[in-house]
Structure 1
Amino acid sequence: MTLTHDMTGDGPVAVLLHSTVCDRRMWDPQWRKLPAAGLRLVRCDFRGYGETPASDAPYSDADDVLRLLDALGVEQAALVGSSYGGRTALDIALRAPHRVTALALLCPGLPDQDESPELAAFDARETELFEADELEKAAELNARAWLGPEADTATTEAVRAMQLHAFRVQSAAAEEHDGAADFDVPSLAGLRTPALILSGAHDFPDFRACAIRTAELLPGAHHRELPWAGHLPSLERPAEITALLADFLTP
């Protein structure tokens, strides 16, 4: 399967990997601005999100992205990942470090992170609503939980709509498959890739801890916690995050 994707701009390639609360549309603000900084952008929908169908067999999101880059003739790229997209970016960098020029990770997750009571309570409520086929309520729960206090009504509605679409696609699938793959977290210390890691002060403690751990492990990492941000800072203050990414990704 080739992931549904878009390309725009000219110059060094940056691949935008979305959170599982959203799909590739979460990068709309950056999509309009980053090409002016001299970047060629690629964004894609993981399986079961946006316009990419759910999978009918086991798969790996990291392998899907690498195959997409092969199909596009892209040998090297910077990876920009939000939440699960950040975890997938790390997985790609471990599988093919020679292909990754930089990592920009926004509130990334790690496969071995213990779950906090706050996140466990959220997961339990989401599962309850999903299993009751209350998909609209589950999507609303996600939009409220993952956005920080500065998110406006339009942003909240956009996240709700993306999550609801994903829930509908995934609930209609004949069999559920998870594209996430575990990786050896301590092996991140062997990467020499420059990395910018952002976390949000209003995020779940799990992801704040993941950002700190990732920055400690990656030798070339710089971590910055954003005091105003929740879990999706690129949507909460898009202009500020776009400027940070442009500064990090361009010479």
Structure 2
Amino acid sequence: MCSHHWIVSGRASLFSEAVGEGDPVVFLHAGICDRRMWRAQLDGVAAYARAIAYDRRGFGQTRYDPEDHSAVADLMAVIDTMAGGKPAILVGCSQGGRIAIDAALRHPERVRALVLISPTVPGAPEAVYPPDLVGPQAELAQAEAAGDLKRVNALKARLFLDGALGSEGRVTGGLRELFLDMNGVALESMPAGANLDAGSTYDRLGEIAAPALILWGSLDYPHIQARCRQVAALMPEATGVEVAGAAHLPSLERPADIAGLLAGFINGCTGHRELAD
């Protein structure tokens, strides 16, 4: 049965949910989603572990007053409350991947393993957009500057859900509605405050000794795909896997594929051999 909790961290009450029993697996959402992006993965992982997800400040149902804060400290509060402080496997997408990397560098004893999906990595090589993406990027920047949140939301669905290399409108129905709702909440939220974890981590990836699985979609931005390959090469215990036909959010598009990859990886980390059957 899924349980819901409010976890206090500074001036925030982080809305969290957990399902299942066993080794803790904590899911960190992308900066264009909230914890709902992990719905299918929570249900799958709960069959063999304790699956935990939460909304960060500025997303979903989390309540907060603006303040300078550490996203890593918020994550540690979630682990303390929902996992009894046990070392956790972190599954992070995009900005969630950045937080997972920060946590592994600052608190290696508390991070058992990492699954990084299309991770943001400060200090990585700058994005270089192919000619056919220069126009859409400029349009997005103009919409953001004008404060046209509806247009920003639609453009982000085009670039991140359909994929920079995918066709416009490729993802339809409930998935598109979910994305627009999740990102719409984030776009309309008040600023959460400065991130105290800011700083380059790209040149420190080699310090992360935890096992890691790096995933990316074949329809994502070319520079993000290249970054993921670089991350997999720089982390000593990492394996990289491309998810064919998916864009920036494979957990939404390819839930069965991601479930299989998670089960195999978590099985290898925790020794639940029955998962291989």
The verdict on a shared fold, with TM-score over 0.5 as the criterion, is: yes
Unaligned regions of 5+ residues in structure 2, if any? Answer: 1-11, 272-277
Q: Do structure 1's residue 190 and structure 2's residue 207 form an aligned pair?
A: yes
Q: Secondary structure at the match of 1:144?
A: helix
Counterpart AA for 1:130: E
Structure 2 CA distance for partners of 1:196 and 1:176, relative to 1, 3 Å: same
Match of 2:260 among 233, 236, 243: 243
Shift of the alpha carbon at 1:133? 3.1
Shift of the alpha carbon at 1:13? 0.4
Q: Do structure 1's residue 134 and structure 2's residue 148 form an aligned pair?
A: yes
Q: Secondary structure at the match of 1:213?
A: helix
Match of 2:236 among 214, 219, 234: 219
Aligned pair count?
A: 247
Counterpart AA for 1:234: S
TM-score (normalised: structure 2): 0.82
Unaligned regions of 5+ residues in structure 1, if any? Answer: none
Structure 2 CA distance for partners of 1:167 and 1:180, relative to 1, 3 Å: farther
2:129 match:
117
Q: Secondary structure at the match of 2:116?
A: strand
1:89 match:
100
Q: Do structure 1's residue 164 and structure 2's residue 176 form an aligned pair?
A: no
Shift of the alpha carbon at 1:200? 1.3
CA separation in 1, counterparts of 2:247 and 2:201? 27
Structure of greater Rg: 2
Contact 1:59 1:178 in 2 (8 A): yes
Contact 1:139 1:161 in 2 (8 A): no
Q: Secondary structure at the match of 2:147?
A: coil
Q: Secondary structure at the match of 2:204?
A: helix
Deviations 1:187-214 (A, max 9, x none): 2212211111011111112211221111
Contact 2:69 2:193 in 1 (8 A): no
Deviations 1:155-204 (A, max 9, x none): 1121111101111113xx4x753465223322221221111101111111
Q: Do structure 1's residue 50 and structure 2's residue 50 form an aligned pair?
A: no
Shift of the alpha carbon at 1:63? 1.8
Structure possessing the higher relative contact order (Cα contacts under 8 Å, 6 or more residues apart) = 1
Q: Which moved more, 1:91-100 or 1:47-56?
A: 47-56
Shift of the alpha carbon at 1:151? 3.1
Structure 2 CA distance for partners of 1:243 and 1:82, relative to 1, 3 Å: same
Structure 2 CA distance for partners of 1:151 and 1:247, relative to 1, 3 Å: farther
CA separation in 1, counterparts of 2:86 and 2:23? 11
